Amino acid sequence: EIVMTQSPDSLAVSLGERATINCKSSQSVLHSSNSKNQLAWYQQKPGQPPRLLIYWASTRYSGVPDRFSGSGSGTDFTLTISSLQAEDVAVYYCQQYYSTPQTFGQGTKVEI
């Protein structure tokens, strides 16, 4: 099972400032067949189900604002919120889909 570790567990960022969340996998999630990283990011607000933000490590899902971006390859990945808005307060999870069982990071709580 691939273990996903996020850092930090929580962070407080001022409105309009940049938020950076890191995710590290215990083994590479770069698939040799398509040269794509099998890594996604989700946002979960209190009392709501998760929402898909990013897949293939850096592709924004439909409707996701462009202030959200993903980067990284292999075992190290980053989710960046370029200019934090009030509605971005949430817990963010990374997820690997390189192998079954798919696994999530423990989550990073983003606050203002």
Partner 1 sequence: EVQLMESGGGLVQPGGSLRLSCAASGFSFSSYWMTWVRQAPGKGLEWVANVKQDGSEKNYVDSVKGRFTISRDNAKNSLYLQMNSLRADDTAVYYCARGLWTFDIWGQGTMVTVSS
Which of 17/56 has CB closer to partner 1? Answer: 56
Contact flag: residue 95 with partner 1 (CB under 8 A): yes
Contact flag: residue 109 with partner 1 (CB under 8 A): no
| Total number of residues that touch partner 1 (CB under 8 A) | 22
Select from 14-22, 46-54, 73-81, 82-90 the region that touches partner 1 (CB under 8 A): 46-54
Q: How far is CA 76 from CA 63, 87, 89, 109, in A?
A: 25, 27, 23, 19
* Strand locations in 1-112 (E): 4-7, 10-12, 19-25, 30-31, 36-37, 39-44, 51-55, 59-60, 68-73, 76-81, 90-96, 103-104, 108-111
Contact flag: residue 97 with partner 1 (CB under 8 A): yes
- We find the least distance from the C-beta atom of residue 18 to partner 1, in angstroms, to be 24
Coil, helix or strand at residue 11: strand
Instruction: Supply the Cα-derived Rg of the chain in whole angstroms.
Output: 13
Contact flag: residue 100 with partner 1 (CB under 8 A): yes
- We find the least distance from the C-beta atom of residue 19 to partner 1, in angstroms, to be 19
Q: Which residues bind partner 1 (CB under 8 A)?
A: 38, 40, 42, 44, 48-52, 55, 61, 93, 95, 97, 100-107
